Structure 1
Amino acid sequence: MSMWFAKLFELEIVLSNRRHFETEFPGQSFEVLIVGSAIFYSARTFKQIESEFYVHCMRADDLRSVLSAKETLPQSLQLIVVDQNFTEELLELGNDLTDTVGSAVIALAYRDGAKAREFLDRWQSQTSRSIGFLPMRISVEVWLSMLRLLLHSQYVFPEDLQPCPAKLANQINTRPAIPPVSSDEHIRRLTIREREVLELIVLGESNKRIASELAITEHTVKLHVHNLVKKMGVPNRTAAVGMYYQAAKQGSLV
């Protein structure tokens, strides 16, 4: 039996186990797929995730076996977490993975911040697809909180992935002075629909719920989120929520 076939066979076993899970817990419909070694992602970790979020966890040894099992992956796949050992594979197969997992959130689990920053630079240079990050060297409580955000399609950008102070200072010093723009001015740039989407994000609604509330597709929601984040000059929707609260605190929202 070849190594590739063995890995594909293992993933098929995982998918078979999912059917048993559905029988035992019929109300738990979301799926989480973790690509990484059992050394880092144990059965105990899976049970903790499943009990905390009422989801089902699966594991694959590498990305190629995930792509090979495309036809049997569940439609309810919500999140795919890829270990940092597969950064090169993720960069190489990113577009194929996007086609395979559809609207599921893709996130990189990392233990080395420098390696994750390097990956982020390369990822952003070759694709417009958003990607989340999940640091592994943090407390379990914080880790689960970040995982919860990813399950709600809220992309996480940890502090240790921000540009280093020296690099940031150099960028600031070489740029022409730009008058500061207040939070409310950023928000006033939004269209009515973008403002509606933002207000629902502030309430903690997922893309699926926002689509239902506004009678639009999830794809359209994602386009609105992309546009409003760009107009507000923030890196992600979480930062957009922070700017909204800042404007609300100043009493400048209209």
Structure 2
Amino acid sequence: MIWLWSGAGRTAEDSLAQARRQAEEYAQRSDEYRARPARPLSVEEAQAKKVIVEAAGILAEAESDERFGQAASLYRQAVEIAPKYDAAWSGLGNAYFLQGLNLPLEGNSAKEKKLELYGRGKEACSKAQTLDPQSPAANLCLANLLLAEGEVKGVVASAWVLPEVFKLSDKVAAVDPYYDDGAIFRTFAVVLYIVPCWLARSFGFAPEIILPYLDKAIERAPDRFLNYSVRAGIYQKMGQKEKALDDLGYMLSHDPAALPEFQRENRMQQQKALRQWKDISGRDYPGR
């Protein structure tokens, strides 16, 4: 289990040391998992995988609801080609998640549309889980969908899904902890953005303990800006403004195209970093 709470009789320093050790163990586990030979695909799965690659390419650059919808349509084709291929189902769930996330959270109609997409995403991910209960993609996506649903419904709803989110994240950690460049650790950090610290702590979440895991994620994927953005948010929440500005400054001073498959995401994080920089410092970048 991810080490998030100091526990009775344990100092903060002891907990951080334990988290650092576990982050190293998790990195090794991910490397070992990825070194295993992939299972052979059936003829149908191989055909579906070609469609999945095309869908993933669209999803990586999608900025409009129409493009997200096109990606989801391709994933639905993949599901029709190979209905027992868990990657097709988890990909479909993720497409619905990102499409919903892209919609503005304003007005009842927008909220209803978001919840509808998140519901479809949960159905797809649940199907993927049925086919492979240990699927990192399915378990991660379902955790993200639960949090996203909670954000739409409000703080109380968010809090009640935390135990299930933690359970799903632990399933990912049991297989490939640094799947998607440490996504489960970003998922835990999102809790800070959705619920107050005191409420998160009541469910066993100690925000500062997530930092060693994010540190390791950044070490492993230094060009993935999203991890810097999440860590900056945690530092800001904890009142460590200079450290937050350091992470924001890194994103703003580096090339978003350094990681081609995440160019759009990196550009989006840079725009977010500009706003967050001014929010923290009271000045436009690079002023402090």
TM-score by length of structure 2 reads 0.29
* Structure with a larger share of its residues in strand: 1
Ranked by relative contact order (alpha carbons within 8 Å, sequence separation 6 or more), the top structure is 2
TM-score by length of structure 1 reads 0.32
